[in-house]
Every structure is written in C-alpha cells, then in structure tokens.
Amino acid sequence: SYTTDTKSREENKKTVENLYRLSVDIKKIRRLKEWVLLQDVAYVKEIAGILQEMGADETAVANILERCPEAILHTPAEINSQRALWQLVCQNEKQLIKLIEQFPESFFTTEYHENQKANILFFQELGLKNNIITRFLTSAPSIFYNPVEKNKNVIEALQRNYLSLGGSDANMKIWILKLLSQNPFILLNSSSAIQENLEFLQKTAFTDHEVLQLLSKLKGFIFQLTPTTMQKSMLFSKNVFKCSDQELKQLVLKCPALLYYSVPVLEERLEGLLKEGISVAQIRDTPMVLELTTQIVQYRIKKLSALGYDIKSGTLESLNGTKKDFEANYGKIQSKKERPIFNPVAPINIED
C-alpha cells in the first residue's frame, strides 16, 4: 500500500510534526528509513492511539515507531485486524504490547494477514500451545506468510516419513510438535526436499531406526541440508578420522554435527582443536567437541588449564556440552582440586 519510490523528495511536514510531538527521534528515522517520511499519507496519531489503547506508555510508543517507522503507513483498520489476530494467541493486551515492543517488524507486517490467520488456526488445531505460536510469530514470522496448504503439505510429509521409518501412531503427534517447536523453519522447506534428504540417509546405510534417531537429534536441521552437502561433510570426516563406513556411521549417530556442519566449518574447528595440542584420536573419541566454536573451545581450555587440568592428556568430555554443562563440570574439577587431601575430622582407623 506504500512505495519506496517517492516522486517528491520532500518530507511530509505533518508526519514529522506528529512524530516530533510523540518524542520520536526523527534523526534516527532519517538515517535508517527516510523514505517513510516522504510518503503523502501517514497515520501517526491513529497508530499511536491504538498502541496507547493497548497499554503502551509514551516511551514505548516512541521506541516502537523509531524501530519500525513504516508502522505509520498502515491504516488503523489493518492494525486493528492484526491486533485481533495476535490476540488469538496472546493471554492479554499487556503481553501483546510487550511483544510489539520487542518485535515491531513482525507485528506490523500486515500484507499476509489472511495467511497469518489461517496458519495460526492450523497450528492451534495441530496442538501447538499458544505460547509456542507467539514465539513463532516473533522469531520466525516468515512461516506465517506461506499459504496454509504449503505448511500442511510439509507436516503431512513429516508424518508420512515418521510412520514409514517405524515411528508409532501414538508418538507421532508429540514428535511433530517437538520438532516444530525446536525448529519452525522446517516449514520453509518443500516436502520433496525432506524426502530427498531422508532417502539419501537410507541409501547411506543408516537403518530406518537410525534415520529416525538422527531426525530427533538434529532438531529438524536435517531439512535445511542437501544430499550433496551431507555427502561432502561425511567424506571429510571419513578422511580425517581414517575410519570405515560403519565406524563413520557410529560417529555421525554420536555427533550429528558431522552431518550438519559444512566442510569449511568442520575444517576450521578441527584446526582450532589441533592448534591447542589436541590429537585427532581424542577428537574421534569425543566428536561432540566439534559442535563448539573455536572461541568457546579456547575459552574452556584456558579455564581448565588455570586449574592445572591438562586437556592434551585427559579426555575431552570436560570441554563438552552447553555453557551450563561446562560450568557444572568445571565446578566439580575445581572443588576436587581445592579439597584437602588430609581430613582432620575423619575417624582414625585403628588397624592402620
């Protein structure tokens, strides 16, 4: 409904004045999205009014319009429709205005209103909780721009494949919902791409049960890959670890990142580990360490070294895991180091 190709290169004085009255930083808009100020028609007062009605204070309104100035180019009717739509999944207007403050671009994308509505209803029917749907609306808004039929096709393809790989009817719904909540972007893939990737894994001698295992471990990322990239990554790992096809398969099941990361990423991470004096044999024993970036590995090695822990002679297990896992491991090593060898309050063994 608006265009970035403006005929008159003059700012709309009324728009600027209205924004100024709302304490909006005009300089910021000029710097980032000046074209908004050049439009003949804008609904500054009306949009600000709707936001205030929802509970936004003066500062919140100014922040929203600074971050997403194109909001003022939408008609009040469009914004009210969007408000009603998001209320289908928001607990109350307080939660809604908080979301708009954090993700104004997602809320003010009204061009796909009908698709958004159909997809919200479809996800609710599917059994996704409203708090998950609101998370999708803000962090993965593009999945709502698809026609609902496209998203249905992808879900149906996943259901078909899950059953054909030996998954049970009873667990299918839980599996689909978990997969979606972990990675909603799987809906941006085509159902044929999903099919191709699964067939590639089956041809690579993974059993149906193992393919299902990989699907769950990869949290849906497998659908963003292609047979070619997976093949290259597997070949790279096979050469580095000098292993047989069967051994490679076990390594991939242990660490699906070997399938997911591209060759340049794996190369860089491997080099980073070798520079720290870690051997290929150690990495092969604990391949999950390749899931970490070089910077994280360096930081963790430094912390462990300060405790006198030699990573070159020990296992890499202590490097692994999330930040929380690492901190817990680090704490155990630290307390072991600080514990006195002789305990003065321990009972004396007479026989000694």
CA-wise closest residue to 19 among 38, 43, 39, 44: 44
pLDDT digit string, tens, across residues 148-183: 999 999 999 999 989 999 989 999 999 999 889 888
Residue 40 resides in a domain? yes
- Here the tokens at position 14 are 């009324």
Contact 23, 62 (CB under 8 A): yes
Amino acid 93: pLDDT: 92
- What integer best gives the mean pLDDT of the chain? 88
**What domain count does the chain have?**
1
Cα–Cα nearest to 314, from 342, 289, 293: 289
- Please give the backbone phi and psi of residue 210, each rounded to the nearest 5 degrees, phi first: -70, -35
Q: What's the pLDDT score for residue 248?
A: 92
How far is residue 102's CA from residue 348's CA, in Å, rounded to a whole number? Answer: 63
How would DSSP label each residue in 210-278? HHHHHHHHTTTGGGG--HHHHHHHHHHHHHHHT--HHHHHHHHHH-THHHHS-HHHHHHHHHHHHHTT-
Q: Of the candidates 16, 18, 45, which has an alpha carbon nearest to the alpha carbon of residue 28?
A: 16
Residue at 156 is within a domain: no
| pLDDT at site 340 | 52
Classify 340 as helix, strand or coil: coil
* Number of C-beta neighbours around residue 98 at 10 A: 16
For the chain, residues with pLDDT lower than 70 are: 1-8, 338-352
CA torsion angle 111 112 117 119 (round to 10): -160
Residue 103 in any domain: the answer is yes
Does residue 243 sit within a domain? no
The domain in which residue 29 lies consists of 10-110
Q: What is the pTM of this model?
A: 0.77
pLDDT at 351: 46
Q: Is 230 inside a domain boundary?
A: no
33 within domain boundaries: yes
Evaluate whether residue 43 is within a structural domain: yes
Query: Measuring CA to CA, which residue among 147, 164, 232, 150 is closest to residue 198?
Result: 164
Q: What is the pLDDT of residues 96-105, one digit of tens each?
A: 999 999 999 9
Evaluate whether residue 51 is within a structural domain.
Answer: yes
